[in-house]
């Protein structure tokens, strides 16, 4: 549970705040202080002594045990979260970084009690893309974080909504809000305003390539995958999302033919997870068919999961720009048809 490869080298010093968004510079300042206090936090029986146990000007008394980075997609929340992980003065084995989905998968693999015991020895737990998509996960994570706070673990999380607003626009909203009200007390929210940096000052997403260009690029790029988009979606339905990262192992580029709007919400949510794993690993995506901003229907983009879908569009667009160097069929490849398959 460490930051993904894309964020191996990020630090607070490499985060470039937008001059027009003072909240970005303020977030860096608060997080640097947060990391510094973690360095003053020593171990105690039954876990680590809690963050902010002593009185501070930021929290006062026994304030929140963590920070919550709230903002839209593309404002650098994951960059800052990973920077906090790197800046925390503790060995890697005493701090953990993972997505919300990975955290719930960890509980599924180890069981609740063993997960608590495992993470209780950590100084910091960073949770990226904090999402509560069903009441079961809400109760699970609420209970887990409460136990960890009791054991003195500091928390940091990112998402696209404030802690007490997660779950709005989704089914069983009352159940979400009832659970999240308790969770939100553990965090000091930090609002990060700004535009999606992946689009700021950059050209529009490249137009889709032709099928032939995608196939040539796959054949000429060692380690590239080549899949028909419907086949990929069907395969994702047969693989647990916790394995999507392993699905990408050894893949240098993803080449897709026949990209079209996803047919249903379950498929769309699986595609969101894959997009996150591809983005984490900086794997370019070259595709034919419809542009990525037409992957999700207007109904999906107006629904409760809209922030996930917009994040996926943003990240896939960035990966499509990365694929521009492939040129829709580079001339310097092997030409030996060595493309593999993601599916």
The pLDDT tens digits for 60-89 are 344 567 888 887 767 888 899 999 999 998
User: Is pLDDT larger for residue 250 or for residue 56?
Assistant: 250
Residues 251 and 126 in one domain: no
Residues 223 and 185 in one domain: no
pLDDT at 170 over 60: no
Burial per residue of 83-99, b for 16 or more beta-carbon CB atoms within 10 angstroms, e otherwise: bbbbbbebeeeebbbbb
Range of 143's domain? Answer: 5-191
Residues 30 and 143 in one domain: yes
240-254 mean pLDDT:
89
Report the SS3 class of residue 151.
Answer: coil
Structure tokens at 197: 């940096």
What's the confidence (pLDDT) of residue 44?
Answer: 37
91 close to 136: Cβ distance less than 8 angstroms: no
> Quick one: which of 167, 157, 16 has its CA closest to 85?
157
243: pLDDT confidence band, cut at 50, 70 and 90?
confident
293-317 mean pLDDT:
86
Domain total for the chain?
2
Which stretches of the chain are DSSP H helices? 22-39, 77-87, 100-110, 112-119, 135-150, 173-184, 211-220, 229-236, 244-247, 265-280, 298-301, 306-322
Instruction: Give the pLDDT confidence of 33-51 residue by residue, as tens digits.
Output: 989 888 654 443 344 443 3
Residues 244 and 272 in one domain: yes
Residues 34 and 169 in one domain: yes
178-187 mean pLDDT:
71
What's the confidence (pLDDT) of residue 135?
Answer: 67
Residues 123 and 269 in one domain: no
What's the confidence (pLDDT) of residue 42?
Answer: 47
pLDDT at 280 over 80: yes
Structure tokens at 332: 């310097």
110: pLDDT confidence band, cut at 50, 70 and 90?
confident
100-124 mean pLDDT:
89
Please state whether the predicted TM-score (pTM) of the whole model is above 0.75. Answer: no
Q: Is residue 197 part of a domain?
A: no
Residues 215 and 78 in one domain: no
- Cα 14 to the center of its chain, rounded Å: 19
Structure tokens at 37: 């206090």
160: pLDDT confidence band, cut at 50, 70 and 90?
low
Residues 177 and 274 in one domain: no
Looking at the chain, how many residues does it have? Answer: 343
The whole-chain average pLDDT of the chain stands at 79
306: pLDDT confidence band, cut at 50, 70 and 90?
confident
Strand order in the sheet with 253-259: 224-228, 253-259, 285-289
Residues 181 and 294 in one domain: no
pLDDT at 339 over 60: no
d(CA 97, CA 118) in angstroms, rounded, equals 13
**What's the CATH number where 38 sits?**
3.40.50.300
pLDDT at 173 over 80: no
215 close to 248: Cβ distance less than 8 angstroms: no
317 close to 199: Cβ distance less than 8 angstroms: yes
Backbone angles phi, psi at 48, to 5 degrees: -95, 150
Residues 184 and 267 in one domain: no
Least confident of 18-32, 63-77, 195-209: 195-209
What's the confidence (pLDDT) of residue 54?
Answer: 36
Residues 118 and 234 in one domain: no
d(CA 61, CA 152) in angstroms, rounded, equals 15
Tell how strand 187-191 and strand 224-228 pair up.
unpaired
């Amino acid at each position: 549970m460490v930051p993904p490869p894309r964020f191996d080298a990020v630090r607070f010093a490499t985060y470039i705040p937008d001059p027009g968004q003072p909240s970005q510079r303020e977030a860096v300042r608060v997080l640097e202080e947060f990391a510094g206090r973690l360095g003053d936090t020593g171990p105690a029986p039954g876990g680590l002594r809690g963050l902010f146990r002593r009185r501070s000007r930021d929290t006062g008394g026994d304030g929140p045990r963590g920070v919550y980075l709230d903002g839209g997609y593309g404002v650098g929340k994951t960059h800052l979260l990973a920077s906090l992980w790197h800046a925390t003065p503790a060995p890697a084995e005493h701090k953990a970084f993972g997505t919300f989905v990975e955290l719930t998968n960890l509980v599924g693999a180890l069981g609740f009690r063993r997960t608590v015991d495992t993470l209780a020895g950590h100084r910091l737990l960073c949770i990226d893309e904090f999402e509560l998509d069903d009441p079961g996960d809400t109760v699970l994570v609420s209970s887990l974080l409460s136990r960890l706070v009791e054991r003195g673990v500091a928390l940091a999380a990112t998402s696209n909504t404030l802690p007490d607003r997660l779950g709005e626009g989704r089914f069983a909203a009352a159940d979400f809000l009832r659970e999240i009200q308790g969770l939100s007390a553990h965090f000091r929210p930090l609002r990060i305003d700004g535009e999606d940096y992946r689009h700021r000052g950059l050209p529009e997403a490249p137009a889709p390539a032709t099928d032939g260009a995608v196939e040539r690029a796959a054949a000429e790029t060692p380690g590239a995958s080549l899949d028909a988009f419907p086949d990929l979606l069907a395969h994702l339905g047969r693989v647990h999302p916790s394995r999507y990262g392993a699905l990408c192992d050894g893949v240098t580029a993803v080449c897709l033919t026949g990209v079209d709007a996803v047919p249903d919400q379950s498929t769309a949510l699986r595609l969101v997870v894959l997009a996150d794993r591809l983005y984490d690993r900086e794997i370019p995506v070259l595709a034919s068919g419809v542009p990525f901003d037409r992957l999700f229907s207007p109904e999906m983009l107006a629904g409760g999961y809209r922030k996930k879908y917009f994040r996926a569009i943003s990240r896939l667009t960035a990966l499509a720009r990365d694929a521009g160097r492939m040129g829709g069929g580079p001339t310097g490849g092997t030409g030996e048809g060595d493309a593999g398959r993601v599916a």
